[in-house]
Structure 1
Amino acid sequence: MAQKDGNLTLTPSKFRPKINACHPARGPLQEHALTSPHLDPARNTVAHFRQLHRAAMPLVLPNAWDAASARLFEHAGAAAIATTSAGLAWSLGHADGRALPVDEAVGAVARIARVLTVPLSVDIENGYSDDPKAVVELVQRLLDLGVMGINIEDGRDAPAILTAKIEAIRAFLHRTNADLFVNARTDVVLAGLAEPSERVEETIRRATLYSAAGADGLFVPGLREPTEIEDVALATRLPLNVMAWGGLPGAAALYKLGVRRLSAGSAIPQLVWGQAERAARGFLETGHSDPLSADAKPFAEVQQLFAASR
C-alpha cells in the first residue's frame, strides 16, 4: 500500500485472487415494509438496502440510539439507519455488552422503525442468546417491525457459535420466503483475539465461515490499517464494513481499499453526551442561559421532524 499526494495507490496483495462482491440472494425473497405512516415503499426493501452496498461510495451510517436520533439522521441525509447497540443500551439505562433485555431492545426498535422512511438495520449483538432458535425468534420479531438488516457478532465466542446462528437465520428466511441483510461482525481485531501478525488471516478465516453460512456482509470493527483493510476486502466475497476510528481514511479512500460500508458505531452518542455533560456542568456552575442556546437546534425544527407521526 502506498500513499502519494493524498491518493491511495493499491499494491499487489497475496489476498488479491478473491473478488469483493456481494452475496447472491438465497432462495425466494419477500420484502418487508416499515410501518411508518410516511414511508416510501421503493426505498424500504431489503433489495434496496442490499443495493446500497454496491454503490460507487461506501454506505455511510451514522448509528442511531433512539427514535429521535434516527429521525434526525434521516433528515440529515442518511440513506439508511443502523442502530448502535452501545448507544441503545445506554439510552435505556443498561451497560453495553449483551446486558439489554430483549423486550426492551425490540420496543426501542419499534419506536425507531415508526419514524423512518429509509431502511433500518439493527445491531443485535450476539442475538442475546447462544441458542440459534432464540435468535431466530428475535429475528422474526424484527422482521415483523420492518427491519431490513441486522448485525450479529461473534464477540469472544467460538466462530462455530455464530456460524450456527447465521445458518439458522438463513434457513428460517428461506422457509418463510423472507429476506434480511445479515451483517456478520467479527471482533478478532477489536477484542485482540489473535496476535497482530495473525489477525488478518484469522479475520479472513472467520469471514469464509460466515459467508458459507449465509452472511451478506462482514463487519470488522477496529480494522483501520489501510493494508489490512485492503487484504480483508480482497479475500472475501462479502461487502466489508468498518467502523469510524481516529486516523481512519475518509470514505473515498476507504472505497478504493474495498470498503463498502462505514459505521459510526457509538461515536456520535459519545460525542453528544460529552457535549451534554459540558453544557449541564456549565449551567450548574453558573446558571447562565446563553450557552444553552448557542448551538441548539430550534424547537420548531425538531418538532417538525415528528409532525407526520402525530
Structure 2
Amino acid sequence: MTSLHALHHTGSPLLLPNAWDHASAAALAAQGFPAIGTSSLAVAAGAGLPDGMAVTQDETLRLTRQLGNRGFLLSVDAENGFSDDPAQVAAFAARLAAAGAAGINLEDGRGDGTLTPATVHAAKIAAVKDAVPDLFVNARTDTHWLRIQQDETEARLDAYSRAGADGVFVPGLSDPTRITALVRFLDVPLNILYSPTGPGVVELGALGVRRVSLGSLLYRVALGAALDTAIGIRSGRPVTGNVPAYSDVQGLSGE
C-alpha cells in the first residue's frame, strides 16, 4: 500500500473524504479513495457530544479501531490531542497508530475560541513524532477561522513544521493569493479544507496545495439529505437522489 506520506507527493492533491462510521468509510473505500479521514464533528454529534471540547477521546479511539487496517489509509481527526500535556497527546497518538491509524490531525484551536500557544502545540507535535515517527502529523491552525493576521499563520506553521509536522492545515483559507503565498513559504505540504464556494480541487492543485480535506461536509450533506427525504415523504413528494439498496448497505459490513 502507498504510504500516506507518498500520497502527498503524486503531482495532484490528495482528496481526503471524511467518514463517520464503518459504512461511510467502506462505501468511500469502495469508490477507490486510498485514504480516508474521520470528522471530529461527526464523531461528536453521533455521540451527542460537542465538537472541539476534548470530550470525545473514547469515541475517537473506538472509531479508529473500527476503521484501522481496512485496506485504506486512515487519518484521524484528534481535535487538540485531548490534552495540553505533550506526553499524554503522544501516548494517545501511539494508541491510534496501534489501532491502525496512518495519520493524525492536531488542531491548535480551542473550544472557547482561542488558540493554544504555539509553543505548546509545537511541543505536542514533537512528542508525537518522537513516540510514533511514521505517523503522518497534519498540524492545523485555526488562525483564518478566527480572522487572525496572515503573519501569525506563517509563524505558527513555521513552528509546527520545525517541530516535525509532516503537513500543515489551514481551514477557512480560500483566497488564491494567500494560498500561493503560504505554499511558497512552506517546506511541507499544505492542506486546505474544501469549500463549495471556494476553489475546486484542480484549481487548488494548480496553486500548489497537496491535500484537500472535506471535513464534516459529507456528514452534513448526508444529514441534510435525510431531513429533506423525511420532510418530502411527509409532504407527499417522491424520493429522489442516489439511494443505495438494502443489499448494498448490508454488503458494506464485509468490507
Query: TM-score higher than 0.5 here?
Result: yes
Match for residue 298 of structure 1?
A: 245
Do structure 1's residue 157 and structure 2's residue 116 form an aligned pair? yes
Unpaired runs of at least 5, structure 2:
110-114
Change (3 A) 1:294 1:274: closer
- Asked whether the 8 Å contact 1:200–1:232 carries over to 2, the reply is no
Correspondence for 2:143: 188
| TM-superposition CA deviations, 1:253-290 (whole Å, max 9, x none) | 1112110000011111111101111112233455x7x5
Scaled by the length of structure 1, the TM-score of the pair is 0.77
Q: Label 1:282 to 1:99 Cα distance change in 2 as closer, same or farther (>3 A).
A: farther
Using the alignment, how far apart are the partners of 2:36 and 2:103 within structure 1? Answer: 10
Q: Select which of 201, 208, 212 maps to 1:258.
A: 208
Give the alignment's Cα RMSD to 1 decimal.
1.6
**Superposition TM-score, scaled by structure 2 size:** 0.92
Q: Which residue of 2 aligns with 1:52?
A: 7
> Does 1:172 pair with 2:122?
no
> In the TM superposition, what are the counterparts of 1:1-310 in structure 2 within 5 Å?
42-43=1-2, 48-113=3-68, 116-155=70-109, 156-173=115-132, 178-192=133-147, 194=148, 199-286=149-236, 290-291=238-239, 295-308=242-255
Partner SS for 2:210: strand
Q: Is the 8 A contact 2:16 2:37 kept in 1?
A: yes
Aligned pair count? 250
Q: How high is the sequence identity, in percent, across the aligned residues?
A: 39
Computing the radius of gyration from Cα coordinates, the structure with the larger value is 1
Partner Cα distance (1:242, 1:215) in 2: 15
SS at match of 1:82: strand
Do the aligned partners of 2:64 and 2:100 also contact (CA within 8 Å) in 1? no
SS across alignment from 1:78? coil
| CA distance, structure 1, for counterparts of residue 203 and residue 195 of structure 2 | 14
Q: CA deviation at 1:179?
A: 1.2
User: Residue 45 of structure 2 aligns to a residue in which SS?
Assistant: helix
1:38 aligns with none
